[in-house]
Amino acid sequence: MRYEDLLRPELKGKIEIPDPETSGTGYTLLASVAQQRGDSAAIDLMQALKKQSASMTFAGNTSAQHLAEGEVAAAISFLSDQLRFKNSGYNISSFIPPQAGWEIGAISILKGGNNPDAAKQLVDFMFSKEVQTDYMNTAFSFPVAPDIPVNPLLTPVKLENLLAAYRFDLAAQQHEKLLSQWREALD
């Protein structure tokens, strides 16, 4: 399934996408498509998806919720948001479009922070097998430790569908430029 599949006439008004100005999910969509296809093509695709949508949500998890509740037939959101609803019993089928953007949950220690020992303890705790397993089973993210069996809801995920060359630094650098182009296209 590709993003363009959501542009089929029979889906008009039955899909939902998150707003790239207010949603990290929406901005990840815009930035990843821009990195893959160029800025102009990304803006064109986002405009087409917006015209096709019943509404644009403030946050990506709202799109997943509306999908779970049957308010829309399809939604663009992070997979983890959809899997949380699926795990709660909602009938959701998820697809990762080819070369989709993605996100990383992160933890770090602030250089020069006032309590580096406590910070290191927190990082060690977060990287423990128990916490990695709990996080995977609640946030539906892949664990970083290779010896943790993957949650069954994550086993069908084809990581090769992700845009391997997605550059988070470039997405951050181009944030204002891409959103400015998005705003201009709205006028």
CA angle 109–171–3, rounded 5-degree value: 125
pLDDT-based confidence at residue 103 (cuts at 50, 70, 90): confident
What global pTM score does this model have? 0.86
Confidence at residue 166, expressed as pLDDT on a 0 to 100 scale: 86
| Residue 18: CB atoms within 10 Å | 29
Confidence at residue 145, expressed as pLDDT on a 0 to 100 scale: 84
Q: How many residues does the chain have?
A: 187
Cα–Cα distance, 61 to 44 (Å, whole number): 24
Strand partners, 75: 16
Reported as a single tens digit per residue, the pLDDT across 146-173 is: 899 999 998 888 777 776 778 899 999 9
Average pLDDT (12-38) is 94
Cα–Cα distance, 123 to 81 (Å, whole number): 24
52 neighbors 90 (Cβ within 8 angstroms): no
Residue 145 in tokens: 């430790």
Confidence at residue 73, expressed as pLDDT on a 0 to 100 scale: 95
26 neighbors 17 (Cβ within 8 angstroms): yes
Residue 8 has pLDDT above 90, yes or no: yes
